[in-house]
Amino acid sequence: MATKGKKTLKSITLVVSKGTMDMAYPPLMIATGAAAMGAEVNIFFTFYGINLIKKDGIDKLQISPVGKPDMPKPDFSPFPVPNIVSMLPGMTAMATSMMKKKIKDTGIMSLEDLLKSAQEMGVKFWACTPTMELMNIKEGDLVDVAGCIGVAGYLDMAADSDINLFI
């Protein structure tokens, strides 16, 4: 192991700005991992990231294969799928359901379960107020959040954190 355990993780603050299925995993896995280590965890959901905390929203997140040459090729195909095929109707849904199946087969939690685990472990969710105004989202549209805050509120939390990440 790389670490000599010199410093214990006390707090971590994440900014979540992406709302696709694949990019929803890293913040939730990091958040639940940090909470399991006893750290205070705050997540500031901004821009497309706010989709993760819409009521029943996280199960609707999708992933599009278009313009993403770094996505693993689908199991049914010996070759990566070219963009001209990826952009056909139905391919976003197909990529999404294939990734969901792979995740399930691997025994990794669904996003819905990860989000619930995070809440049960005390991870605090913060919604970005300018984003809510821009996308016409009310607090009632969201899962339980610790509060709705602006950039200043985020910066106050981040200044006090051992680890800050923008995802």
Q: Which of residues 59-118 bind its own copies (CB under 8 A)?
A: 61-72, 82-84, 86-89, 91-92, 96, 102-103, 106-108
* Maximum distance among all Cα pairs of the chain, rounded to whole angstroms: 52
State the nearest-atom distance from the C-beta of 157 to its own copies, in Å: 5
Nearer to its own copies, 10 or 116 (CB): 10
6 in helix, strand or coil?
A: coil
Residue 6 CA to residue 9 CA, distance in Å, equals 10
Q: Is 119 in the site for its own copies (CB under 8 A)?
A: no
Which of 11, 32, 21, 16 lies closest to 127, judged by CA?
Answer: 16
By CB under 8 A, the residues from 130 to 159 that bind its own copies are 130, 133-135, 146-147, 149-159
State the nearest-atom distance from the C-beta of 53 to its own copies, in Å: 13
Burial bucket for residue 104 (CB in 10 Å: 0-12, 13-18, 19+): exposed
Q: Which of 33, 94, 100, 116 binds its own copies (CB under 8 A)?
A: 33
Nearer to its own copies, 15 or 115 (CB): 15
Q: Is 121 in the site for its own copies (CB under 8 A)?
A: no
Q: Which of 42, 58, 118, 127 binds its own copies (CB under 8 A)?
A: 42
Residue 42 CA to residue 22 CA, distance in Å, equals 20
Q: H or E element: which one contains 42?
A: strand 40-45
